[in-house]
């Protein structure tokens, strides 16, 4: 249940617009600002170690404690995820083995991504990797939802590559800081309900990603992911909240770089 909920959740004084005013198409200058901000916010996941704390609170089932994991991409893949607590308890041998397998699978995925990177055409649109289902960001049709002296917010259509998750049922918004030209927050909200693999129906939900500058010499990192959802599993209603925070950041050398292996491109959003 916990893994299933986590996957679903991770599905997620104005100058130009007044409160309640309908979004408008982004101007050429605003569209250029958005593209630059997205470029600045590429996630350099292979060079940051951090501690990740995850807490899920659901209306059904027994309350669970937080799961705390140390991630370090400088270590061999089987050692990159070190669980400190799982559901509030010390990890069992079985859980330790699962996290080792998770690291090994991550190494295999990075190898596949690096191979696919050479086939990616120049100028291809940025993509959102949403729980394994990828969608392109249609920046050519972005709209401005708020425009203030320091920040501007955009609504960006999503174009799904597969049909397992209908990305057209989600609304993606980004808030950009004008001076730094960087993305500060990303919000993914469910527009309308849909069914997942016949056994569950996602009725409502919203996820928010916050970005933080750990070191001014590098792009911002995702420092927290929070959200909520409402769904039914076999006609049983379930409400849940999700909070994922990343702390204790440390700049490291990627494990693959020790062997002069070329890494794939940095990801903008991979959740």
**pLDDT tens-digit series, residues 46-69:** 999 999 999 998 877 677 899 999
Q: What is the mean pLDDT of residues 234-261?
A: 83
Supply the pLDDT for residue 222: 94
pTM over 0.95: no
Q: Which two tokens stand for residue 251?
A: 């700049």
Q: Which two tokens stand for residue 193?
A: 């309900």
Q: What is the mean pLDDT of residues 210-233?
A: 88
Range of the domain at 20: 2-71+127-250
Residues 197, 243: contact at Cβ < 8 Å?
no
User: Is residue 37 in some structural domain?
Assistant: yes
Q: Which one of 26-30, 113-117, 128-132 scores highest in mean pLDDT?
A: 26-30
pLDDT tens figures, 145-190:
999 999 999 999 988 766 667 777 888 999 999 999 999 999 988 8
User: Is residue 60 in some structural domain?
Assistant: yes
User: Is residue 266 in some structural domain?
Assistant: no
Please state the separation of Cα 11 from the chain's center in Å.
9
Number of folded domains that form the chain: 1
Give the C-alpha separation, 46 to 41, whole Å: 14
Supply the pLDDT for residue 13: 34
Supply the pLDDT for residue 259: 57
User: Is residue 161 in some structural domain?
Assistant: yes
User: Is residue 85 in some structural domain?
Assistant: no
Mean pLDDT of the chain, nearest integer: 82
User: Is residue 114 in some structural domain?
Assistant: no
User: Is residue 121 in some structural domain?
Assistant: no
User: Is residue 241 in some structural domain?
Assistant: yes
pLDDT tens figures, 28-43:
999 999 999 998 888 8
Provide the terminal-to-terminal Cα distance of the chain, rounded to the nearest Å: 19
């Amino acid at each position: 249940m916990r893994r299933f909920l986590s996957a679903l959740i991770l599905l997620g004084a104005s100058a130009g617009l007044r409160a309640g005013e309908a979004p408008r198409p982004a101007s050429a200058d605003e569209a250029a600002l958005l593209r630059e901000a997205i470029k600045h916010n590429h996630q350099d996941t292979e060079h940051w170690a951090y501690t990740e704390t995850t807490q899920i609170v659901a209306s059904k089932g027994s309350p669970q404690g937080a799961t705390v994991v140390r991630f370090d991409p400088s270590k061999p893949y089987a050692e990159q995820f070190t669980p400190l607590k799982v559901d509030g308890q010390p990890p069992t041998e079985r859980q330790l083995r699962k996290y080792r397998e998770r690291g090994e699978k991550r190494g295999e995925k990075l190898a596949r991504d690096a191979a696919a990177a050479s086939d990616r055409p120049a100028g291809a649109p940025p993509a959102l990797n949403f729980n394994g289902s990828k969608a392109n960001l249609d920046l050519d049709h972005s709209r401005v939802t708020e425009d203030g002296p320091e920040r501007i917010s955009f609504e960006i259509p999503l174009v799904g590559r597969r049909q397992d998750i209908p990305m057209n049922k989600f609304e993606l918004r980004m808030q950009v800081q004008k001076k730094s030209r960087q993305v500060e927050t990303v919000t993914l909200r469910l527009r309308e309900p849909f069914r997942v693999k016949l056994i569950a129906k996602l009725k409502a939900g919203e996820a928010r990603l916050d970005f933080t500058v750990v070191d001014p010499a590098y792009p911002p990192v995702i420092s927290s992911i929070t959200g909520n959802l409402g769904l039914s599993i076999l006609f049983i209603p379930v409400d849940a909240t999700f909070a994922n925070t990343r702390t204790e950041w440390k700049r490291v050398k990627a494990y693959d770089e020790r062997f002069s292996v070329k890494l794939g491109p940095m990801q903008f959003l991979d959740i």
